[in-house]
Amino acid sequence: MAFKTNKGATAQSDAEVTSRVEALLSQMSLAEKIGQLTQLGVAEFVPGQKPEEVIRRGGAGSVLWLNNTKRFNELQKVAVEESPSKIPLLFALDVIHGYRTVFPVPLAMAASWDPAVTERSQTVAAREARAAGLHWTFAPMLDIARDARWGRIVEGAGEDPYLGAAMAAAQVRGFQGKQLGASDRVVACAKHFAGYGASDGGRDYDPVYLSESQLRNVYFPPFEAAVKAGVGTFMSAYMDLNDVPASGNRWLLRDILRGEWGFQGFVVSDAFAVGNLVMQGHARDGRDAAFRALSAGLDMDMASNTYADHLTGLVEEGSIPTEIIDASVRTILAIKVRMGLFENPYTDEGLLAEVVALPEHRQESRFAAQRSMVLLRNEGHLLPLSKTLKQVAVIGTLADSKTATEGSWMVFGHVPAAVTVLEGIRAKLSNATVEYAPGPEIQRDIASWFDSFGGDPKKEPQTVEDSEAAFQAALVAARRAELVIMVLGEHANMSGEAASRASLDLPGRQEELLKAVVALGKPVVLVLLNGRPLSINWAAQNVPAILEAWEPGTEGGHAVADILFGDAVPGGKLPVAFPRSGSHMPLYYSRNLTHSPEGSPMYNPRYWDGLPTPLYPFGYGLSYTTFSITNLNISAPQVKVGDVLTVTADVTNTGTVAGDEVVQLYIHQRAGSDSRPMRLLKGFERVTLQPGETKTITFQLGPSELGYWSTNVGQWLQDAEAFDLWVGSDSLATLHAEFAVVR
């Protein structure tokens, strides 16, 4: 079959889009309209699918979990030539951090504190995904996560709403471009609305209890930023939010999202979530579930077929007015019209290979990985290493794992192709002997259902004898080496969906091996590959150099080697605190003060069995150079409610190599209608400075930075109160000033 290539849409005014949508709507039967609200899961794990049949009768508006350009074209042909109103399908998939060229996981991208590089990464992801025939990605994931036990922390931007909002907008711009319709972009989906990251105990899917103030001040800002950036779609979350499932939550989906924020796109459920309202103890049966979800404002049913099975009956009996159906269908058709799918429904099957071969894709991925890495420790300037080393040992089962390097959430059918850390080091040290010893294997105690979709082939657990032999072999390699690079952390399937854990320690025998290697007295560098903060207390005291490399993607191994050997200088900062223990979760810097401040002699410390403070605070990260931040200036000692205050500070590279600093601004409102957090990030900028160079950074504090949603008053407000302000290189910044907001 010869298909037209996927061209973009020609620009269309809102009026043109509306009139095309209305023309379509007026010719559609009720069954076809309900079809548009139905997303078909075309995958082996959804039994009994006959996609052609369903599509031919106009029974599907979108298809997900399929990842095959030829099949896209075949199914699209049925939709646009054989279905009653010939409406094209939207093909959707989770393209979270890259399609073929894999980028660092979203938590790592947030560690770059660089919205521009984040935007470019998602531009590349969109270009490849669209070339494969996809129109719609289920990203960005915008859930604030303050409990690192929650496995999905890897998919988001960490603990902070301000950083999260910046990363949200950047990702939407990257995926969608300036406006929907470009031939090399996709529609984005802000998910999971809302509060998913605050599940009880960090256990995935468990209920969430959050006050309106927490939701509005902490959990909503990234979602609102996505709406402002023009995101086309939203996905509702699975879990109960304050006892109402997010997928049947009218307050979230109608009052906040559409009513307050003016969102014009459509909302899709999470997978099977409409049907699962029954399982969740909210809906009586499928019919009740369809009624509750659609009435609450959920437009498209992902894969549960509950809308398809029950909406006709509900309309016919008069429980659901056709206007509600029409309103949902309009939002979906409008996206299809804006995307230009009616004019260009097909994808050229040769396009993907050309697009993936573009050299800048890999270059962007390597650059993004370098930008995202965080130097946690570097005693005695052990890093950067010399390229004249002759005998190096690389140790750790993750060091040569392509899956661990690419991280969680690979698109269906993707074959991991990353440069591993071992390969990256070998490429850098072509004249040295680089000996590799994996050491004991690590694995989850309880396997994951998601493992069946990719990753490493399933293996029997290593026997005690084999584990011990691998342990000893690693020590032999370490003894022979001048320097040891330990690559430890978590496998890709240890974070992500359904991948929560109670402990945040290094899994398996990794710390035991680390201790044994350090005891040999050789210089040791620890490279961490992981998708969440880990409690690496022993390493933080005893290993001189620690690089947090996250799950760095296709070019990850090269990027790690670039940093280790000084071809790139680390400049990332933690987007989430590293705790001393998993049982300290949730832990976040922007806590409220208390009547008994931590560290005061009165009363007791927060725990009597150790410090509750983070091992590494939010915003923390070192460089190969040093910086000083001085000359903090505020445009006026007072600012009127509603006005803008300008803050400047100078940052100087005081070391001998060029490097990046992320200058961060935090505020604290001393009193007010509600208690306010002891610190809140309200500005940041990542700058590159040559040795001796100084730059002046300018921040603006206006009503959106100085206001908040008050529980006491029940609305957004700005108090006329005194504020503290700090500018520095992490959330413990000490350079201080004060100002007041006045009426």
| Residue 465 buriedness (CB in 10 A; 0-12 / 13-18 / 19+) | exposed
Element holding 705 (H helix, E strand): helix 703-706
Backbone angles phi, psi at 166, to 5 degrees: -65, -40
Sheet architecture: strand order including 433-437: 374-378, 545-548, 524-529, 483-489, 391-395, 433-437
Beta bridge partners of 38: 301
Question: Which residue in 83, 89, 94, 393 binds ligand BGC (CB under 6 A)?
Answer: 94
Q: Give the CB-nearest residue to ligand BGC.
A: 138
Of 154 and 478, which has the nearer Cβ to ligand BGC? Answer: 154
The rounded distance, in Å, linking the Cα atoms of 249 and 261 is 16
Binding mask 441-480 for ligand BGC (x = CB under 6 A): ----------------------------------------
What is the closest distance, in whole angstroms, from the C-beta atom of residue 108 to ligand BGC in the complex? 18
Nearest residue to 487 (alpha-carbon basis) of 521, 534, 529: 529
What is the rounded distance in angstroms from the CA atom of residue 232 to the CA atom of residue 612? 41
Q: Rule CB under 6 A: is residue 270 a binding residue for ligand BGC?
A: yes
d(CA 659, CA 554): 24
**Pick from 127, 130, 191, 258: which binds ligand BGC (CB under 6 A)?**
191
Query: Of the two residues 114 and 270, which places its CB atom closer to ligand BGC in the complex?
Result: 270
The CA-atom distances, in angstroms, between 641 and each of 160, 701, 740 are 25, 11, 10
Closest approach of Cβ 96 to ligand BGC, in Å?
8
State which residue, 156 or 677, has the beta carbon closest to ligand BGC.
Answer: 156
- Nearest Cα to Cα of residue 46 among 303, 280, 286, 289: 303
Count of residues interacting with ligand BGC (CB under 6 A): 6
Nearest approach in angstroms of CB 47 to ligand BGC is: 17
Nearer residue to ligand BGC within complex by CB, 189 or 393: 189
What residues numbered 723-742 form the site for ligand BGC, per CB under 6 A? none
Report the nearest approach of ligand BGC to the CB of residue 311 (Å). 21
- Distance between CA atoms of residues 231 and 597, nearest Å: 42
Dihedral sign from CA coordinates of 716, 145, 174, 128: negative
d(CA 661, CA 654): 11
Active site residue 255: no
What is the distance between the alpha carbons of residues 311 and 457, in angstroms, rounded to a whole number? 42
Nearer to ligand BGC, 93 or 629 (CB): 93
In whole angstroms, the minimum distance from the beta carbon of 497 to ligand BGC comes to: 6
- Nearest approach, Cβ of residue 271 and ligand BGC (Å): 4
Q: Using the rule CB under 6 A, is 676 a contact of ligand BGC?
A: no
Q: Is 660 in the site for ligand BGC (CB under 6 A)?
A: no
Half-sphere exposure of residue 433, counting CA atoms within 13 Å on the CB side? 8
- Minimum Å gap between C-beta 94 and ligand BGC is 5
Minimum CB distance to ligand BGC smaller for 92 or for 131: 92
Question: Nearer to ligand BGC by C-beta: 449 or 608?
Answer: 449
Instruction: Pick the closer one to ligand BGC by CB: 235 or 442.
Output: 235
Q: What is the DSSP string of 601-624?
A: SSS--S-SSS--S-SB-TT--B-S
Around 484, how many Cα atoms within 13 Å sit in the side-chain half-sphere?
A: 31
CB of 138 to ligand BGC, least distance (A): 3
Indicate which single residue of 90, 227, 271, 351 sits in contact with ligand BGC (rule: CB under 6 A): 271
Hey, is 563 helix, strand or coil?
A: helix
Q: Is the C-alpha dihedral spanning 551, 557, 559, 563 positive or negative? A: positive
- Rg of the Cα trace of the chain? 26
**Residue 240 found at the interface with ligand BGC (CB under 6 A):** no
Cβ closest to ligand BGC, residue 125 vs residue 369? 125
**Minimum distance of ligand BGC from residue 45's CB (angstroms):** 11
Q: Least distance to ligand BGC from the beta carbon of 197, Å?
A: 12
- Catalytic-role residue among 143, 160, 270, 660: 270
**Which phi and psi angles does 423 have, rounded to 5°?**
-65, -40
138 binding ligand BGC? (CB under 6 A): yes
Nearer to ligand BGC, 94 or 562 (CB): 94
Q: Which of 309, 253, 244 is nearest to 282 (CA)?
A: 244
SS3 at position 654: coil
Handedness of CA 448, 451, 456, 462 (dihedral sign): positive
Helix (H) or strand (E) holding 709: strand 708-710
- Pair 154, 496: CB distance under 8 Å: yes
Q: 396 burial class (0-12, 13-18, 19+ CB within 10 angstroms)?
A: buried
Considering only residues 494 to 513 of the shown chain, the ones binding ligand BGC according to CB under 6 A are 497
Closer residue to ligand BGC, CB minimum distance, 134 or 615: 134
Tell me if 654 sits within 8 A of 706, measured CB to CB.
no
CB of 178 to ligand BGC, least distance (A): 25
Instruction: Please identify every residue annotated as catalytic.
Output: 270
Binding residues for ligand BGC, per CB under 6 A?
94, 138, 191, 270-271, 497
